[in-house]
Chain A
């Protein structure tokens, strides 16, 4: 086959591929896919998977401290689910990595070197029990919105994993909401703890969805992922949906939105808000956020301390 014929074939394959996703077909792990698509999926799904695992760490800090037997059981179940999501997603990512001869160990190494990022929201400190509630309610609430946006992703294995994850996330949001309700209806000290927590997480919640366009940080993968029908809405559309869903709920608990300029503009049909400090965002996503290094270090130490276990297991299986 001549080079020209091969190129034509590649071109035809791409056309067929685009036609398939345009028709709403699902792409499977062994199907042909353009390099750009595979790379975008690897980046997205490995980051999503590792974020679930890193995301267990801020909540884990509150697992033993949860203030009743019922809350202890609830938060244990919740964090376990997050680890389970991480496992499910990393398996999807591992299948995509196969042609490159890479596996989970490589993903861990990429995490430690900073090449593989984890979600910006999990670089933040969880200082009080109210933070554990806010993570469950609003951070998971934000996650439901971004994940629902990809529920019908063109990549079948990711779409199926997300269906399962979203079903569980709904329980998590209830778990978080229940913690929040108890605090909101509680003593003055509990209500103050809750308001302070909202103040502390507000900027992180805005940043959660990422900048509106790539001009803010110099790069964004939202254009590629929309082109390939991996996702449908833009970052800003998702942030607006989050406001629409949660602002009335936050206000109904008697909490104050920590942004005096925050309002709904009837004319534009948009929520108007004070932009978060996107310079801070850039620092966070390069692992220079408040708890970035401490959390990475926790993973690194556990990876090194358990190296002998991995060796022992591979000796048994060989």
Chain B
């Protein structure tokens, strides 16, 4: 990876923008799924802790959208709220619903799925952030340093849940195993950099997706071994690649909720 810093000159801009949208959309949706759990977590202490994580993650998304605004892509709020699903670059994993039912009425959310998704996503995020600390585009490298500080606690939190539930009752183990299978089905595009990947890596913005994925596997291997489990297979070709604007219908309804008030009057100050 090059040590040289780059600017957002026209020849570099597309790659920077593409990567920023991936990071921003990932955390925006991840935070949304977390916030749907508000008031519904297994116990009150957990509600306080995980809503703090959702809040941090929304803060991270806001920082990336802000960088995009500074690059002239438009207002950060408009970027977050108004872009339709076919313009989004988040991975499939973060757009999946928390379980059956809407958060407003009778949600039957699956805590095992939440723990596995959040843990696997956070490990991946941490690996990306470590790489982004050396990003050739300095404004992004600076954001990575800030994000990294908060990630330490997120990681500790989800790892604790993950290990505890997999070391507990038979029911918990079964539910967790089911959740792992479900999460892995969508894991194929988490590290993908999409069709802009070559350019993104070539400019030294982040390391190659295969290098990052291997780091994830190595780290998870240790965790899985510690609880006598083997690491699940990762689909090599994802069914849908969110980095290339391929999404499920769940993303449309998520965006509709997230932007319901903003869309009432996009010119108004809220």
Query: A residues bordering B, Cβ < 8 Å?
Result: 53, 56-57, 60-73, 76-77, 79-80, 83-84, 86-87, 90, 129, 182-183, 185-187, 189-190, 294, 297-299, 301-302, 305-306, 308-313, 315-316
Contact = CB atoms under 8 A, between A and B. Distances in A.
B59 A315 contact: no
A312 B77 contact: no
Given A64-B257, A309-B172, A87 B39 contact: no
Contacts of A67: 77, 81, 261-262, 264, 270
Interface in B102-134: 103-111
Interface string B66-92: 000000000011001100000000000
Contacts of A68: 77, 81, 262, 270
Interface string B31-45: 010011011111111
Chain B, interface size category, equals: 35 or more
Nearest to A62: B261
A76 B35 contact: yes
Interface of B: 32, 35-36, 38-45, 47-48, 51-52, 54-55, 58-59, 61-62, 65, 76-77, 80-81, 103-111, 164-165, 167-169, 171-172, 175, 257-258, 260-262, 264-265, 268-270
A69 B51 contact: no
B65 A69 contact: yes
B35 A310 contact: no
B107 A302 contact: yes
A77 B58 CA distance: 11
Given A68-B262, A68-B270, A53 B109 contact: no
Given A73-B58, A87-B44, A79 B270 contact: no
B62 A69 contact: yes
A64 B108 contact: no
A298 B76 CA distance: 34
A197 B38 CA distance: 24
A210 B20 CA distance: 52
A70 B40 CA distance: 24
Contact of B169 (A90, A301, A312): A312
Contacts of A294: 105
A313 B65 CA distance: 38
B44 A83 contact: yes
Enumerate the 7 nearest inter-chain pairs by beta-carbon distance, A residue then B residue, closest first.
Answer: A312-B172, A67-B270, A67-B261, A312-B168, A302-B40, A309-B42, A306-B42
29 contacts: A53-B39, A56-B38, A56-B47, A61-B103, A63-B38, A64-B258, A65-B260, A67-B81, A67-B264, A69-B58, A69-B62, A69-B76, A73-B58, A87-B44, A129-B270, A182-B269, A183-B270, A186-B269, A190-B265, A294-B105, A298-B107, A301-B107, A305-B109, A308-B169, A309-B111, A309-B172, A311-B171, A312-B172, A315-B169
